[in-house]
């Protein structure tokens, strides 16, 4: 098994919309196409009526430069746009304006990389800027459709396409890679990846010596790991029966969670690329690149380092927190409101993650706020509740969104520091355990048994410091009376 896994090759092609732009890539139609009546967010340029001329969105180039630099890409000196010709209703012009990577053309940038947590380098072959096609809706499922609807509102929205080398060795690595990429893009603020359809992924996978299978249009990053795991199992089982894998393109059905063959590829499709004569070559000036660099926000890697220094977090905790910008922001707010940032980090990186994994939820699905975490952290720091009780409160808080202090009061989980109460309990425990008391008088170490009995009698609600003091007082009284 592990031998075969070592020979798996996975490559990804990620399309990501620059949703932070006000307008589309080549015209002034709004980039914000969602929730508009079909075919109302269009103009002659994005649907390509005769005589219309594209004009490159300067801000899109700016954002793409930011992404390229953050992903360690080399920017091309002179970028060209090409027409990718094809006939399909999602592109009314019958071509897509994109950037070609062969035969003299140059993409936006080449030779980038991302490091995984293990330090492994995933090479990014190229990155390009292109326009999104229209959105097609099928009447019914893929195989029984009779009608197809087309909505051009999305046509012309700016996309960046990032293509990895086949360096990924498992579906899990693919997921980790996508999480890293997502976090970087989110930190840059160029795209809201939470928006429906803002990121799409194609994946190709081949087993040892096998042919390459491409899985198209995986709608969310979470589905990528599933789709790849399915493909891996499917290909292995065919291979073990002596059936060879066809080079083909498959579709991921995220409802049935299987891949379905779309077409078996005989050869590469010929898109007849040719230069887009309506657009001039793009040359990024040194000044422009300098401006982008100086505007670059803090990236996950830098934030991880800062979290360790500023909040005294462990490297592991900081690493988990920056995996999602939303979580990292949530942590910083919690740290602002609480006395112990390190504790807040640990609740979010360990306990919260465990809960989310088990419940199959995301932080955004919960209704808790940073103030919830801060209050819980402070209650533990102030010894208002025991650590064990805090875990109970934490889970209840995630489920009900009630504030931790009110949960503690409702459930009677607050620590009792009242000396009189602790004295009474201690006396009772001493009476019930005369032998242990004698042992403790002789040997300091035996005191833990008595403390344990006190905790047990009060379900851990007694303040340990108070209990410790009272037990010692009572023991020395016993000693002096002997």
Task: Kindly list the residues in this chain that would bind Mn ion in the complex (CB under 5 A).
Answer: 161
Q: Considering the complex, state which of residue 108 and residue 330 has its C-beta at the smaller distance from Mn ion.
A: 108
Q: What is the DSSP string of 139-202?
A: SS-TTT---EEEEGGGTT-EEEEEEE-S-B-SHHHHHHHHHHHHHHHHHHTS--TTSTTSEEEE
Q: Considering the complex, state which of residue 126 and residue 180 has its C-beta at the smaller distance from Mn ion.
A: 126
What three-state secondary structure class fits 312?
Answer: coil
Q: Considering the complex, state which of residue 152 and residue 430 has its C-beta at the smaller distance from Mn ion.
A: 152
Least distance from C-beta 79 to Mn ion, angstroms? 15
The secondary structure of residue 239, as a DSSP letter, is H
Q: What is the DSSP string of 241-272?
A: TTPPPP-EEEEEETTTTEEEEEEE-SS-----
Q: Considering the complex, state which of residue 161 and residue 276 has its C-beta at the smaller distance from Mn ion.
A: 161
**DSSP 3-state percent helix, strand, coil across the chain (nearest 5):** 45, 20, 35
Q: Considering the complex, state which of residue 101 and residue 161 has its C-beta at the smaller distance from Mn ion.
A: 161
Q: State the burial class of residue 201 (Cβ atoms within 10 Å of its Cβ: 0-12, 13-18, 19+).
A: buried
Q: Considering the complex, state which of residue 161 and residue 225 has its C-beta at the smaller distance from Mn ion.
A: 161
Q: Considering the complex, state which of residue 18 and residue 322 has its C-beta at the smaller distance from Mn ion.
A: 18
Q: How far apart are CA 26 and CA 5, in angstroms?
A: 44
Nearest residue to Mn ion, by Cβ distance, number only:
161
Kindly report the length of the chain: 482
Least distance from C-beta 2 to Mn ion, angstroms? 35
Q: What is the DSSP string of 444-467?
A: GGGHHHHHHHHHHHTTT-B-HHHH
Q: How far apart are CA 57 and CA 62, in angstroms?
A: 9
Q: Considering the complex, state which of residue 161 and residue 223 has its C-beta at the smaller distance from Mn ion.
A: 161
Least distance from C-beta 163 to Mn ion, angstroms? 9
Least distance from C-beta 267 to Mn ion, angstroms? 19
Q: How far apart are CA 101 and CA 163, in angstroms?
A: 11
Least distance from C-beta 271 to Mn ion, angstroms? 11
Q: Which two tokens stand for residue 211?
A: 């042919």
Least distance from C-beta 24 to Mn ion, angstroms? 16
Least distance from C-beta 348 to Mn ion, angstroms? 36
Least distance from C-beta 35 to Mn ion, angstroms? 25
R_g over Cα of the chain: 30
């Amino acid at each position: 098994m592990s031998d075969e896994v070592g020979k798996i090759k996975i490559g990804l092609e990620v399309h990501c919309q620059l949703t932070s732009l006000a307008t589309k890539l080549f015209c002034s139609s709004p980039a914000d196409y969602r929730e508009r009546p079909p075919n109302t967010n269009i103009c002659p340029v994005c649907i390509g009526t005769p005589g219309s001329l594209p004009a490159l969105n300067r801000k899109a180039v700016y954002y793409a430069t930011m992404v390229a630099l953050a992903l360690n890409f080399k920017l091309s000196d002179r970028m060209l746009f090409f027409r990718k010709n094809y006939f399909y209703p999602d592109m009314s012009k019958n071509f897509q304006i994109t950037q070609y990577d062969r035969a003299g053309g140059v993409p936006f940038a080449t030779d980038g990389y991302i490091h995984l947590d293990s330090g492994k380098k995933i090479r990014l072959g190229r990155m390009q800027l292109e326009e999104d096609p229209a959105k097609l809706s099928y009447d019914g499922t893929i195989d029984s459709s009779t009608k197809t609807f087309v909505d051009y509102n999305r046509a012309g929205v700016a996309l960046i396409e990032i293509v990895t080398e086949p360096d990924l060795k498992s579906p899990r690595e693919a997921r980790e890679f996508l999480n890293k990429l997502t976090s970087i893009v989110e930190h840059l603020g160029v795209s809201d990846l939470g928006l429906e359809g803002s990121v799409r992924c194609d994946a190709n996978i081949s087993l040892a010596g096998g042919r390459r299978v491409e899985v198209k249009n995986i709608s969310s990053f979470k589905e990528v790991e599933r789709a790849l795991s399915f493909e891996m199992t499917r290909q292995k089982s065919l291979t073990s029966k002596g059936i060879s894998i066809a080079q083909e393109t498959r579709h991921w059905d995220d409802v049935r969670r299987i891949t379905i063959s779309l077409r078996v590829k005989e050869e590469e499709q010929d898109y007849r690329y040719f230069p887009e004569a309506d657009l001039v070559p793009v040359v990024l000036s040194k000044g422009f690149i300098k401006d982008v660099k100086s505007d670059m926000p803090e990236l996950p890697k830098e934030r991880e380092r800062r979290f360790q220094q500023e909040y005294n977090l462990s490297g592991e905790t900081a690493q988990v927190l920056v995996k999602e910008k939303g979580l990292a922001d949530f942590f910083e707010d919690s740290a602002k409101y609480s006395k112990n940032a390190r504790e807040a980090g640990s609740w979010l990186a360990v306990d919260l993650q465990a809960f989310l994994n088990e419940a199959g939820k995301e932080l955004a699905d919960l209704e808790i706020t940073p103030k919830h975490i801060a209050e819980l952290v402070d209650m533990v720091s102030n010894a208002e509740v025991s650590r064990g009780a805090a875990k109970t409160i934490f889970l209840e808080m995630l489920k009900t969104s009630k504030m931790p202090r009110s949960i503690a009061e409702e459930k009677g989980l607050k620590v009792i520091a009242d000396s009189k109460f602790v004295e009474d309990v201690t006396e009772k425990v001493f009476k019930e355990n005369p032998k242990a008391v004698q042992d403790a008088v002789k040997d300091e170490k035996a005191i833990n048994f008595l403390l344990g009995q006190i905790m047990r009698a009060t379900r851990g609600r007694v303040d340990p410091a108070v209990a410790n003091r009272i037990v010692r007082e009572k023991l020395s009284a016993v000693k002096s009376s002997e």
